[in-house]
Structure 1
């Protein structure tokens, strides 16, 4: 059972999200708050698997809470759920190592899917924000992510890539998931194409 904590200052939306999550057999809402200070205190005490946080809340914003949890190396995965598609907010969320950043106009099933994915170590960001980020000149990939994508460009299963890089299959899958999230794509082919187009990787292919 995945434990979920909700922090949303609008009581109607907070109630709606609670009811939505309660419909899922593998999810359980263990607490909710309408201000950031209460949310932060509760999350430290309850230690939920996932915390879904709004940005604009009294006392502490969702980003403030996320940053504090990151500083304390909390095991709780954070998903930011907001109406704000502002790049500055998104960059703060990335620095706080949030696992998800979704807009409130996203389909409701996307939140449910994201909760399950972040527990498995994946990340999921709104494509509108990711596209803006990766359109900048800087390479968004870490050195290891770049190496994994270059190996992926050469073909082969994740296990074959793992063998070549002396990594586990799960580790390679996690790296690829992180790359897909950064690029806003859902396949290895699309990720390789985007990286090659922006000259972020050298696949060695002609």
Structure 2
């Protein structure tokens, strides 16, 4: 029995190419959409095993569709296709239990393997997206962070602000901010707001 899929992308040519490729490889496309809202409706209607979604779409993004599926307790596995190589987005995807995350430029050569792994309950995050990510997850083990930085990282994971951490540790707030900056640099994290918080919360209990 072929794997049943829903696909969605707001670019008509990319959507057609994706569908043609999947059908040529004997996957069953139940329906397709060109925006996130319609994609969610199709997922609710058909309850496919897997949905392949563009990250950025009108109405709802792929992340927003995944969030809605989680709230509605829909068991469809989500694969996101993206043009972005941002660690911040990867961490968002992981918090939503998204099963696959592929860079569009390399999607064709990885997609079948990704679908097959997800079909048997595994996850697939393309190494082409973040070749340094595995190293990032081992930074604490490799002792790149100082004891002070690890202590601050734990408090960040608990949701404390720089001011609250400074009060708790009896140090200046600017000292906390300096530590935060050093951690972001050492972990090669995105400098966007909350990226360090998301990383710390995702890895709390794993590495510190």
Q: TM-score range by the shorter chain?
A: 0.5 to 0.7
Q: Does 1:19 align with 2:37?
A: no
1:151-184 CA deviation, whole Å, 9 max, x = no partner?
xxxxxxxxxxxxxxxxxxxxxxxxxxxxxxxxxx
How far 1:88 moved relative to its partner? 1.5
Q: Look up the match of 2:114.
A: 114
The 3-state SS of whatever aligns with 1:113 is helix
Q: Look up the match of 1:3.
A: 4
Structure 1 residue ranges (4+ consecutive) displaced by more than 6 angstroms after TM superposition: none
TM-score by length of 1: 0.63
1:26-82 CA deviation, whole Å, 9 max, x = no partner?
x11111111000000110111111100111100100010011112222211100011
Query: Per the alignment, do residues 138 and 44 of structure 1 end up closer, same or farther by CA in structure 2, a change over 3 Å counting?
Result: farther
Q: Give runs of aligned pairs for residues 1-206 of structure 1, distance below 5 A.
A: 1-25=2-26, 27-106=27-106, 108-127=108-127, 128-129=129-130, 131-132=132-133, 134-136=135-137, 137=139
Query: Per the alignment, do residues 135 and 21 of structure 1 end up closer, same or farther by CA in structure 2, a change over 3 Å counting?
Result: same
CA RMSD of aligned residues (A): 1.9
How far 1:134 moved relative to its partner? 4.5
Give 5+ residue unaligned stretches, structure 2.
142-205
How far apart, CA to CA, are the structure 1 residues paired with 2:33 and 2:72?
20
How far apart, CA to CA, are the structure 1 residues paired with 2:135 and 2:101?
16
How far apart, CA to CA, are the structure 2 residues paired with 1:64 and 1:79?
13
The 3-state SS of whatever aligns with 2:39 is helix
Query: Per the alignment, do residues 44 and 129 of structure 1 end up closer, same or farther by CA in structure 2, a change over 3 Å counting?
Result: same
The 3-state SS of whatever aligns with 2:130 is helix
- Count of residues paired in the alignment: 140
How far 1:129 moved relative to its partner? 2.5
How far 1:101 moved relative to its partner? 0.3
Q: Which has the larger radius of gyration?
A: 2
